[in-house]
Structure 1
Amino acid sequence: MFNSRRGALLAAVCSAGLICGLAVGPASAETLAEAIALAYDSNPNLQAQRATQRALDENYVQARSGYRPTLSASVQGNYSESRTPGGVPNAAGGRTFGPNEDNSGSAGFSLTQPLYTGGRTAAAVSAAQADILAGRENLRRVEAQVLATVITAYVDTRRDIEALRIREENVRVLQRQLEESKARFDVGEITRTDVAQSEARLAAAQAQLSQAQAQLAISRANYAAVVGQNPGDLAPEPSLAALLPGDVSQAFDVAEAASPQIRTAEYVQQASRARLAGARAERLPSLALRGTLGWSGQADPLDTDEYSRSITGAAVLTVPLFTGGLTNSRVRAQIERNNADRIGVETARRTVLQGLTQSWSQLIAARANIGSTDEQVRAARIAAEGTRQEQQVGLRTTLDVLNAEQELRSAELAQVSARRDEYVAATNVLAQMGRLEAPNLTPAVTRYDPKTNFSKLRFTWGWVPWEEPIALVDGVLTPKPVEKPMEAAPAAPK
């Protein structure tokens, strides 16, 4: 696995550095939708988070085991030897010397069925459910981070491919300009200074070309690392306009209901509230049924027919009377933890508000920058062409032509970067809103549903039918977690 990934990264470097724009080996992720689908199925960070969520689901099973019976078996063998100095008096009036040996064996089963735990088990179950809901939101957050990284790597690669094309075109133009300058110098139309200026600009353009090749290699390596496939000839990215709201106030409303950061904080607060109920339940009595079945007798020689058998049954009521202040201290500590988690909801809300405001402002600025750079490129192209024509009739110098070409290339590079920045800003807005999910971006992908694994654990080995009524009685006073609804996102871009 490591060797194959390393090979993909090396291919990215070689491809960008030597044969720019051509893929090394077959590449399946040619569109952004395909790249997202590939990363959604194979990205290691996302896969690890899904495994973490499945492990978290087991906390629910472990918590519900408090309603279920426990059965244990024990087997014990004893041997004893005693020696008394001077011997032990015997029936014949003498004394017996030597060790006094004895042995015994026992075996038994013990069955305990809780009937009422004072709400302790119900609180643990509620806390586990809330933790699972928080884990699902954390999974959504990690998914959004991975998809944002995929999109950024995709548009960065496309930007750097276009930037490399611009740099290559600049080198070709400056080479022609240098050849023309040398020809004009040979016939005495210009001076050696004009030739030196052309040579200097060409050398700088070649250095910039090398930098562009290196940057493209870096972007391709980033793409291969997050997507798992070396990029090929990438298609233009689709528009995200269908997923974006009309104004920032609508974005705030969506984020309030769908942001994974806010929803995680709310579920964490619900979990701590359930744990507070569990701490208070430590003051209440608990009731359980207990039965034992045992056999005991001599172990050597073993004769099970002579073993005695005992059967006991009991209803055990446990009432905590005095714990040295431990229970009260735990309650007070859990109250403060719940207060902190409740405050954490507001902290998460403000953080999302801040991040969404920043992303939205960057989106507006990037959109305005696209219009400005488009106009800049149009004007710079006209100016460069006019300067070349005016040079032919002696109205412009070689330096004027070189400067006009430099301004045109700078404008083209700014235009490419502006379009990349606008797309990344739109991606960040969707991430802050909680709508940056693979099914929202590419309908063809099969959504990973963490509820599927949880549903399998509802009735697992160890489940008994009478745990349901026990759970109802035990959870009368325990707060239950409430899953927040979330509206479906608009149709994915085509």
Structure 2
Amino acid sequence: MRLPTRLLTALLALPGLVLLEPAHANDLMRVYDLAVDNDATYRAAQFARDAAIEARPQARSALLPQINGSYGYSESREEGTEAFQGTPEQPIDRDSTNRGLTVTLNQTVFDWAAFQRLRQAGEQVALANTTLRNAEQQLVLRTAEAYFAVLSATDTLRSSQAEQQAVERQLEQAQKRFEVGLSAITDVQEAQARYDLTVANVIQAEQVLAQAREALTEITGRPTQDIATLREEFPLPSPDPANVGDWVANAKQSNLDVLAARHNAEIAARGVGVARSGHLPTLGAQAQYQDATSDGSRFSGEAETETVSLQLTVPIFAGGATRSGVRQAIATREQRHAELDAQERLVERNTRDAYQGVVTGAARVKAFRQAVVSSRTALDASETGLEVGTRTAVDVLNAQQQLYAAERDYLQSRYDYLLSVLRLKAAAGRLTAVDLQEIDALLIES
């Protein structure tokens, strides 16, 4: 069922909506590509991931050989006198040079804390990758929301301007009928009041559109004056699978917020192992090579020393810090498990809400589409009744207001439906740029 041609013509042929840049079909992916390159939130998430993945090589380094080298050089000069027992003092004037090279290799043999930190770092890397995937998914959703917000605000402005023009015509007709004695002054006053209200609505709609464009610019980094619009009709498929329980089950397994909470719980569990390792001994091996040279007027020589050793460190008492650290780590682990449980419950609720949003959204689109047609018919009947004297000017104004309200609700319901589809996929952890491409196919040139 199509919108009446007369109404569409009135909406699309309004002044004040000059297109500064031509919009093209498949414009949504262009906007998304700009968001990928310029969105500050997404770029921050990328850098955060790059920083977080360094946790694994840093943790691994504690288990690999540590080699250090040092070199020392010194010069000294000695002046004065010296005497040995039974001999007179003799003047001395000596120069000496000392050189020393030391190379030390340390290798961890057993350190349970280092092993646990390595496993913990693996979970931290997994968490970083999951967080970035979530940022990518949220960028898809934020782009669609900002894009449709601009379209919705543009529709509202056009509809408000069309309503203003229609009410202005009614005001002019009411004044003419009053001048020839065919209506009362109350009809003019009512029309004037409605016209003043439409002027205020247009001003508000202009402000909302400006704010929506700024929000889209914040994501893309570039100002956008006009974008491609949705075609008048498009399919409204039901969720697949059609069972909300299947969506909830998938969300509990694949939702990115749930996966992040699981990684946090595993990181906290590894933290308990790290804390308990404070009670365990550590064993390390060391190999050292030294080359020392001394040159002087009295003593000189060269010596090379090679040393291999094992060092066992056994913790005896740390003032209670180790036990306190274990209790703290256990509490943190339980906190993360509670947060995981809360996140799973939140995801279940959000998934059910999104599923209902898709189901009821399709029904709302159809209902509002029919409401527009019915309101158009009611307006035509009111205008005819006004001409024959069975309806008043107030009836026509009410019918006009109802028509434009229904038209705005219908246009908004289409965006709400598409966003509900995206939110449902996001809840299940399945939202990608491919989903934007499918919506992109529904766009037409503005």
* Band of TM-score, shorter chain: 0.7 to 0.9
CA spacing shift, 1:105–1:95, aligned 2, 3 Å:
same
Residue 42 (structure 2) pairs with residue 38 (structure 1): no
Structure 1: tracts of 5 or more residues without a match: 1-17, 446-491
Paired residues for 1:172-191 under 5 Å: 172-191=165-184
Of 117, 130, 150, the residue aligned with 1:137 is 130
Q: Which residue of 2 aligns with 1:442?
A: 437
CA spacing shift, 1:62–1:143, aligned 2, 3 Å:
same
Residue 196 (structure 2) pairs with residue 203 (structure 1): yes
Of 416, 425, 428, the residue aligned with 1:430 is 425
Q: What is the percentage of aligned positions where both structures have the same residue?
A: 23
Residue 290 (structure 2) pairs with residue 294 (structure 1): yes
CA spacing shift, 1:77–1:300, aligned 2, 3 Å:
farther
CA spacing shift, 1:273–1:99, aligned 2, 3 Å:
farther
Q: Which amino acid aligns with 2:271?
A: R
Residue 440 (structure 2) pairs with residue 420 (structure 1): no
Please identify which structure carries the higher strand content: 2
Distance in 1 (alpha carbons) for counterparts of 2:199 and 2:17: 18
1:275 Cα deviation after fit = 2.7
1:204 Cα deviation after fit = 2.0
- Check conservation: 1:265, 1:348, Cα contact below 8 A: yes
CA spacing shift, 1:75–1:493, aligned 2, 3 Å:
farther
Q: Deviations over 1:143-176 (max 9, x none)?
A: 2322222111111111121112211211222232
- Check conservation: 2:351, 2:427, Cα contact below 8 A: yes
Structure 2: tracts of 5 or more residues without a match: 1-13
1:232 aligned counterpart, secondary structure? coil
Residue 273 (structure 2) pairs with residue 277 (structure 1): yes
Q: Which residue of 2 aligns with 1:157?
A: 150
Of 138, 154, 167, the residue aligned with 2:160 is 167
Of 49, 54, 58, the residue aligned with 1:53 is 49
Distance in 1 (alpha carbons) for counterparts of 2:330 and 2:275: 9
Q: Which residue of 1 aligns with 2:230?
A: 236
Q: Which residue of 2 aligns with 1:483?
A: none
CA spacing shift, 1:440–1:180, aligned 2, 3 Å:
closer
Q: Which amino acid aligns with 2:41?
A: N
2:419 aligned counterpart, secondary structure? helix
CA spacing shift, 1:351–1:233, aligned 2, 3 Å:
closer
Moved more, 166-175 or 21-30: 21-30
Paired residues for 1:408-487 under 5 Å: 408-442=403-437
Q: Which residue of 1 aligns with 2:308?
A: 313
- Check conservation: 1:223, 1:231, Cα contact below 8 A: no
1:308 aligned counterpart, secondary structure? strand
Q: Deviations over 1:209-234 (max 9, x none)?
A: 12212211111111121133415232
CA spacing shift, 1:179–1:365, aligned 2, 3 Å:
same
Residue 104 (structure 2) pairs with residue 110 (structure 1): yes
Paired residues for 1:211-222 under 5 Å: 211-222=204-215
Distance in 2 (alpha carbons) for counterparts of 1:186 and 1:443: 57
Q: Which residue of 2 aligns with 1:335?
A: 330
Of 119, 123, 127, the residue aligned with 1:126 is 119
1:389 aligned counterpart, secondary structure? helix
Moved more, 132-141 or 289-298: 289-298
- Check conservation: 2:95, 2:296, Cα contact below 8 A: no
Moved more, 214-223 or 410-419: 410-419
Of 371, 384, 407, the residue aligned with 1:376 is 371
Distance in 2 (alpha carbons) for counterparts of 1:165 and 1:444: 23
1:324 Cα deviation after fit = 4.3
Distance in 1 (alpha carbons) for counterparts of 2:439 and 2:67: 49
- Check conservation: 2:24, 2:227, Cα contact below 8 A: no
Distance in 1 (alpha carbons) for counterparts of 2:296 and 2:189: 110
CA spacing shift, 1:21–1:431, aligned 2, 3 Å:
farther
Distance in 2 (alpha carbons) for counterparts of 1:180 and 1:444: 44
CA spacing shift, 1:275–1:28, aligned 2, 3 Å:
farther
Paired residues for 1:338-353 under 5 Å: 338-353=333-348
Q: Deviations over 1:434-487 (max 9, x none)?
A: 222224443899xxxxxxxxxxxxxxxxxxxxxxxxxxxxxxxxxxxxxxxxxx
1:60 Cα deviation after fit = 0.8
1:30 Cα deviation after fit = 5.0
1:395 Cα deviation after fit = 1.4
- Check conservation: 1:81, 1:102, Cα contact below 8 A: yes
TM-score by length of 1: 0.75
Distance in 2 (alpha carbons) for counterparts of 1:28 and 1:293: 73
Distance in 2 (alpha carbons) for counterparts of 1:438 and 1:264: 21
- Check conservation: 2:164, 2:195, Cα contact below 8 A: yes
Residue 250 (structure 2) pairs with residue 254 (structure 1): yes
1:106 aligned counterpart, secondary structure? strand
**Equivalent pairs, count:** 426
Distance in 2 (alpha carbons) for counterparts of 1:227 and 1:243: 30
Q: Which amino acid aligns with 2:154?
A: I
Q: Deviations over 1:7-48 (max 9, x none)?
A: xxxxxxxxxxx9754443466785333333432343221121
Q: Deviations over 1:269-296 (max 9, x none)?
A: 2222223223333444444332212222
TM-score by length of 2: 0.83
Residue 61 (structure 2) pairs with residue 65 (structure 1): yes
- Check conservation: 2:239, 2:355, Cα contact below 8 A: no
- Check conservation: 2:28, 2:436, Cα contact below 8 A: no
Moved more, 54-63 or 199-208: 199-208
1:52 Cα deviation after fit = 1.0
2:229 aligned counterpart, secondary structure? coil
CA spacing shift, 1:343–1:228, aligned 2, 3 Å:
same
Q: Which amino acid aligns with 1:332?
A: R
Distance in 1 (alpha carbons) for counterparts of 2:266 and 2:333: 8
